[in-house]
Amino acid sequence: MQEITRDTLISRAKELLASGEVDRVYGWKRGEFCYDVTPALFTDAESLEKDFEWGDFCGANLSKYLVEETRKSEGKILVFMKPCDTYSFNQLLTEHRFDREKVYVIGTPCAGMLDPKRIRDHAESFTSVVSDENGVTVSTLFDGDVKLDRSEVMPDRCLNCKSKKHVAYDELFGEDGGTIASGRFDEVEKIEKMTPDERFEFWRGELSRCIRCNACRDVCPACTCEKCVFDNPNSGVENKAAENSFEEQMFHIIRAFHVAGRCTDCGECSRVCPQQIPLHLLNRKFIKDIDGFYGEYQAGAEVGSRAPLVDYTTEDIEPSDAVKGGDENA
Amino acid sequence: MRKITLDRLDEFFAAVAGKLKLYIPVDTAGGAQFQQWRAGAKMSDALNTTRSAKDFFFPQTENLMEFKTEGKKIEIIDVRRENEDFAIFGVRACDVRSFDVLDRAFLSEPADTYYQNRREHGVIFSLACSKPAETCFCGTFGIDPANPKGDIVCYKTDDAIYMEAKTEKGANLMDSVSDIVAEDEGGDGESAVNAQKEIISERMKKLPLASLSTDKFGGDKTAKFFDDPAWKSLSESCLGCGTCTFVCPTCQCYDIKDFNAGNGIKRFRCWDSCMYSEFTKMSAGQPRLTQLERFRQRFMHKLVYYPANNDGMFSCVGCGRCLSKCPIQMNIVKVMKNLGEGGENNG
Ligand code: SF4
Ligand code: SF4
Ligand code: SF4
Ligand code: SF4
């Protein structure tokens, strides 16, 4: 099988640009260091060759950018997507957030991303990271090279990857994978087993670090309202007006509820949080409950699927039973 | 110069905490954060805190005043309580400089008395950086992490912390705990500190951003950079989240709001961000309609507008927080490198 490399992606992007099939490319751009990769738009071969990046630090999910970008012209955009990104892509299509015809998706294989925050826990002041099947070698400025297992420096979302399958693409690089029985609900179960007081303390402690930067909301592919209630000065809960910790908690409760049933568990919220608050655990609690109450449902697995929370069947759980379940293990 | 061996550090902290409220950096699940010292608290070894030390003087939310109304009468209630002395231990050179930047904004006439009050009551123990990070570029702004400013300057070696009071405030505090930390007369202090300064200077030269220069920026450069084509590609993927402004030690924008608290009105001040779409919105409209304009504001303020009003002083201190915290890894270094290079897609 042909090995997929950065060059494979660049040469295909150049072909598609040259043929006029697409007129711009959403990808990842190299930065100052090995890890500071930025989502970026490319329009010519030269800049692709110079700046396009594909590797361990291309974690940013590009699907949400398509909402704005597709509005800008009639031309088609090439976008590269990891398996998890394609679920967000489908969910956005389900919600009619952009025109599928304006996008050309190339699915790219993924061995799991690396997390600079976790690398820093093992290697301070690092300048380069080389990874292969034997692990990860991190070069530091003052402590020489540090050798690590890939699993030590992968983010939680990749360690608990739910699927290596691309659920949307026009073209696929590499062999497609399948869904994975991951341990993604293990942490949720631990929290469910806490007493209500312990659980309250756990979340109070985690959320007390929140600085209300809204990065978790702004990066979220399920958060695409034209005007968020937390940006509306007339709502009384506008972002800047955090009068007390209750307001902080409100923000998180509303955010989590609003994405319930639509969150694909892409993990972007936890990736971007500057305070390392495990937001994905809130989302996963909802996913787990929905699975339990209505049967397994994966947001974004298919375009146009009706999420249990916005659907009605006569088999639906009675609210009183759902609440009972909540008493036992919510 | 005074010396405390690390095995007695707790004793020292206890002594200081006996005089005033003491905050030290401790490790949390969200990285190092300043917390009030309590017996047994362990000082973090991290280079710097996630949130900067500006919180102590310019908190994210504060209640400025309250109003009570009765018929046509309105009573104004001053709710200020910040009259207690406090000390912050372990502030890095970049963050110490950030206080100078904030002072110029908040203490120039008419002075912001809320900020002023806290500045007067705060004592700063700065700490030299023995291991700078790859994201550090304080040197670009003439800051020397081997010689931080502050009321008491500290150097931490493998077995001790050496301290030297630099201001009257610092000297008074150190005198008050001299039974715990005596003067290190004829001790190894000077040579240990000099050796460390040397190591720091050598390490600073090795930093990847060591050669970043401010030469092309300054107060007279508005026309040069305002319409630079690079703003488009630099800002294009910005989420407008404001993370960079909230972790930045020098970002100083705020919003003031009144809330109906039932039986009266509370007036709050909260951090705001030039990256937000509601920022600068006025009854006449919103002057910065696009994220490009908002993004440009943040960096022009650091590199051009602030120096224009403050004798050429830049309002970035090179702490590197925006480099490690931006969700899309866009930051002031990329801006500095790309502006003025005559292209949309440079570097
Ligand atoms: S990204 Fe983190 S700190 Fe920012 S608002 Fe979300 S939870 Fe709070
Ligand atoms: S530059 Fe980065 S941190 Fe700042 S608002 Fe934009 S995306 Fe957020
Ligand atoms: S702009 Fe960035 S590097 Fe400069 S002081 Fe602010 S957070 Fe630090
Ligand atoms: S920027 Fe300079 S002063 Fe700040 S932490 Fe890094 S080395 Fe220390």
Amino acid at A167: V
Distance between CA A213 and CA B20 in Å, rounded? 32
ipTM: 0.91
Angle of helix A319-329 relative to helix A279-294, nearest 10 degrees, comes to 130
> Is residue B14 domain-shared with residue B137, that is, in the same domain?
yes
DSSP 3-state assignment of A201? helix
- Whether B216 is in a domain gets the answer no
> Is residue B45 domain-shared with residue B187, that is, in the same domain?
yes
- Whether B184 is in a domain gets the answer yes
**Which chain A residues have a beta carbon less than 8 Å from that of B247?**
211, 213, 274
Q: Please give all residues whose beta carbon lies within 6 A of any atom in ligand 1, as ranges.
A: A 210-216, 272-275, 277, 279
> Is residue B24 domain-shared with residue B90, that is, in the same domain?
yes
> Is residue B323 domain-shared with residue B295, that is, in the same domain?
yes
Angle at A322 between CA A317 and CA A326, to 5 degrees: 160
Question: Within chain A, which residues score under 50 in pLDDT?
Answer: 325-330
User: Which of B255, B278, B334 comes nearest A231 by C-beta?
Assistant: B278
Closest CA to A28 of A16, A45, A14, A42: A42
Which ligand sits closest to the CA of A206? 1
Q: What is the per-residue pLDDT for B203? A: 97
A-chain residue closest to B48, CA distance: A124
DSSP 3-state assignment of B35? strand
Provide the residue-wise pLDDT of chain B in tens; the chain has 347 residues. 999 999 999 999 999 999 999 999 999 999 999 999 999 999 999 999 999 999 999 999 898 999 998 888 889 998 887 678 999 999 999 999 999 999 999 999 999 999 999 999 999 999 999 999 999 999 999 999 999 999 999 999 999 999 999 999 999 999 999 999 988 877 788 999 999 999 999 999 999 999 999 999 999 999 999 999 999 999 999 999 999 999 999 999 998 888 887 778 889 898 988 888 777 666 666 677 789 989 999 999 999 999 999 999 999 999 999 999 999 999 999 999 999 987 554 43
Q: What is the per-residue pLDDT for A329? A: 45
Number of domains, chain B: 2
> Is residue B136 domain-shared with residue B249, that is, in the same domain?
no
> Is residue B230 domain-shared with residue B158, that is, in the same domain?
no
* Residue B179 C-alpha, separation from nearest chain A C-alpha, in angstroms: 37
**Which chain B residues have a beta carbon less than 8 Å from that of A272?**
241, 243, 327
pTM of this prediction? 0.92
Q: What is the per-residue pLDDT for A56? A: 96
Q: Which two tokens stand for residue B138?
A: 């304080």
Q: What is the per-residue pLDDT for A1? A: 56
- Whether B65 is in a domain gets the answer no
**Closest ligand 1 atom, residue A211 Cα:** 3
- Whether B161 is in a domain gets the answer yes
CA–centroid distance, residue A278 to ligand 1 (Å): 10
Q: How many CA atoms lie within 13 A of B293 on its CB side?
A: 9
Is the minimum distance from the CB of B275 to ligand 2 under 6 angstroms? yes
Q: What is the per-residue pLDDT for B345? A: 46
pLDDT digits (tens, 9 = 90+) for A87-146: 999 999 999 999 999 999 999 999 999 999 999 999 999 999 999 888 999 999 999 999
Q: What is the per-residue pLDDT for B69? A: 84
> Is residue B197 domain-shared with residue B314, that is, in the same domain?
no
Give the mutation candidate from B233, B247, B326 for the A interface (greatest A CB count, under 10 A): B233
Distance between CA A239 and CA A262 in Å, rounded? 23
Q: What is the DSSP string of A204-252?
A: HHHHTT-----HHHHH-TT---SS-GGG-GGGS--TT---SHHHHHHHH
Q: Strands A171-172 and B122-127, how do they pair?
A: unpaired
Q: What is the DSSP string of A99-133?
A: -GGGEEEEE---S----HHHHHHH-SSEEEEEEET
Domain span at residue B165?
2-58+81-205
Distance between CA A28 and CA A47 in Å, rounded? 11
> Is residue B29 domain-shared with residue B158, that is, in the same domain?
yes
* Residue B36 C-alpha, separation from nearest chain A C-alpha, in angstroms: 15
DSSP 3-state assignment of B165? strand
- Whether B290 is in a domain gets the answer yes
In which element (H, E) is residue A172 found?
Answer: strand A171-172
Q: What is the per-residue pLDDT for A232? A: 80
Closest CA to A120 of B47, B201, B41, B247: B47
> Is residue B199 domain-shared with residue B247, that is, in the same domain?
no
> Is residue B157 domain-shared with residue B34, that is, in the same domain?
yes
User: Is the Cβ of B35 closer than 8 Å to some Cβ of chain A?
Assistant: no
> Is residue B198 domain-shared with residue B226, that is, in the same domain?
no
Q: Please give all residues whose beta carbon lies within 6 A of any atom in ligand 3, as ranges.
A: B 247-250, 302, 316-322, 332
User: Is the Cβ of B334 closer than 8 Å to some Cβ of chain A?
Assistant: yes
A-chain residue closest to B325, CA distance: A274
Q: What is the dihedral of CA A233, B54, B208, A59, to 10 degrees?
A: -40
> Is residue B150 domain-shared with residue B239, that is, in the same domain?
no
Q: List chain A domain ranges.
A: 1-113+163-182, 114-154, 186-324
CA–centroid distance, residue B145 to ligand 4 (Å): 6
Give the mutation candidate from A213, A228, A255, A273 for the B interface (greatest B CB count, under 10 A): A213
**What order do you get walking across the sheet with B254-260 strand by strand?**
B73-78, B61-70, B265-271, B254-260
Exposure string for A121-158, b = 16+ CB within 10 A, e = fewer: eebbbbbebebeeeebebbbbeeeebebebeebbbbbb
Instruction: Check B131 against A211: CB less than 8 A apart.
Output: no
User: Which of A65, A213, A276 comes nearest B237 by C-beta?
Assistant: A65
Q: Strands B61-70 and B73-78, how do they pair?
A: antiparallel
Distance between CA B126 and CA B90 in Å, rounded? 5
